Amino acid sequence: MGYVGGQWTLDVNGYTVKTGYQLLQGQHPSLQWYKEVWDSWFVPKHSIIGWMIKQEALNLRDKLHRLNICGSSMCVICEKEPETHQHLFAQCEYSRTVGFILDDWLCNAFTGNVQDMPILKSIRRLVQLTTWYTLWMERNSCRLDLVVRRPERLVKDIQRIVCMRVKMMLKEQCPASIEYSIWLRMRDTI
Ligand SMILES: [Zn+2]
């Protein structure tokens, strides 16, 4: 690939900066899920944690225990199951309770003839990412202070952040638009 027998093989017209750059980049499988964690209106630190969760790259107890760094492999919050990414962010009773309350909130806000609007998908992604980040912070403070807040308190924090970000995203929108009315319903049902 590249120069073979004195010929640039990636473009019939010879070497170009574009094809040279493509050669340096190499071939990588495309990640189908990157839009779930990267978007201009997501909080960047939430995106970073979301990216790490998707890659299962956080140092959770299950992994630390296997490396003999931590004495227990059990979930910091519930202490009932090994602390894996799947458990902490999806299966833990605490996380599931947070998820149920947020689902109810979104279902109430997304009523009427708005079901097919693209903004709903974006808002759901934003809620997911904010929830993951907030759960991760709660887990860390629980590890240090040995107390965990009630799920309802966590939900309030998530809702406040989400509403603030949605409002930012809508700054160009007309206050009479359907998107704006969705935001108003979300804000008023906190
Ligand atoms: Zn748990």
Q: Please state which of the ranges 29-33, 52-56, 123-127, 171-175 shows the lowest mean pLDDT.
A: 29-33
Do 101 and 151 fall into the same domain?
Answer: yes
Query: Based on the domain organization, do 80 and 143 belong to the same domain?
Result: yes
Domain that holds residue 94: 34-188
Region of poorest pLDDT, from 23-32, 100-109, 152-161, 178-187: 23-32
> Are 79 and 58 in a shared domain?
yes
Q: What is the pLDDT at residue 34? A: 79
Q: Tell me which DSSP letter residue 82 carries.
A: B
123 shares a domain with 170: yes
Model pLDDT for residues 114-162, shown as the tens digit of each residue: 777 888 999 999 999 999 999 999 999 999 999 999 999 999 999 999 9
**Rounded-to-integer distance, Cα 98 and Cα 73, Å:** 23
Å from CA of 58 to ligand 1 middle: 15
The model carries a pTM of 0.84
Residue 36: predicted pLDDT? 86
Identify whether residues 23 and 95 lie together within a single domain. Answer: no
Strand partners, 7: 4
Number of separate domains in the chain: 2
Between 139 and 174, residue with greater pLDDT: 139
Does one domain contain both 42 and 64?
yes
pLDDT at 46: 97
Report the DSSP beta bridge partners of residue 155: none
Q: Which residues surround ligand 1, an ion (CB under 5 A)?
A: 75, 77-78, 92
Average confidence (pLDDT) over 45-50: 97
Q: Determine the distance separating the centroid of ligand 1 and the alpha carbon of 53, expressed in angstroms.
A: 16
Shared domain for 9 and 54, answered yes or no, is no
User: Is there a single domain that holds both residue 18 and residue 44?
Assistant: no
| Residue 16 shares a structural domain with residue 84 | no
Whether 94 and 77 have beta carbons less than 8 Å apart is answered as yes
Cα of 79 from ligand 1 centre, angstroms: 6
Higher pLDDT, 20 or 83: 83
Q: Say if residue 24 is in the same domain as residue 91.
A: no
| Separation of alpha carbons 175 and 67, rounded Å | 54
Does 117 lie in the same domain as 80?
yes
CA–CA dist 100, 93 (Å, integer): 10
Q: What is the pLDDT of residue 164?
A: 94
Q: Are residues 106 and 152 in the same domain?
A: yes
Give me ligand 1 centre to Cα 10, in Å.
52
- Between the CA of residue 54 and those of 2, 17, 33, 57, what are the distances in Å? 34, 34, 9, 8
Helix ranges restricted to H, 38-150: 44-54, 61-66, 85-86, 93-109, 118-145
